Amino acid sequence: MKVEIDDQLCSGHGRCSILAPEVYRLDDNGYNADRGQIIDVPAGYEAAAALGMRNCPEAAINAVD
């Protein structure tokens, strides 16, 4: 599974990292540190990644093929 974090939509709520710290990390300003990138979700953490994605209030995280 891969997810993309939209650098324009991420507004630093940090819910993704709170719910799935194994997948999402924050920068020093509280924004997703991987904004503007596609990241590979580690095997076994797909459910956690999906939970963080669903709970982003800005819908800044999307699954990609």
What is residue 42's predicted lDDT score, i.e. its pLDDT? Answer: 96
Strand order in the sheet with 2-5: 38-40, 2-5, 61-64
What is residue 26's predicted lDDT score, i.e. its pLDDT? Answer: 97
What is residue 15's predicted lDDT score, i.e. its pLDDT? Answer: 97
Q: Which fold has domain 2-64?
A: Alpha-Beta Plaits (3.30.70)
Domain boundaries, the chain: 2-64
What is residue 65's predicted lDDT score, i.e. its pLDDT? Answer: 82
For residue 19, the Cα-to-chain-centroid distance in whole angstroms is 10
pTM of the model: 0.92
Predicted confidence (pLDDT) per residue in 18-65, tens digit: 999 999 999 999 999 999 999 999 999 999 999 999 999 999 999 998
C-alpha to C-alpha distances, 40 to 3, 16, 29, 36, 37, nearest whole angstrom: 7, 15, 23, 13, 10
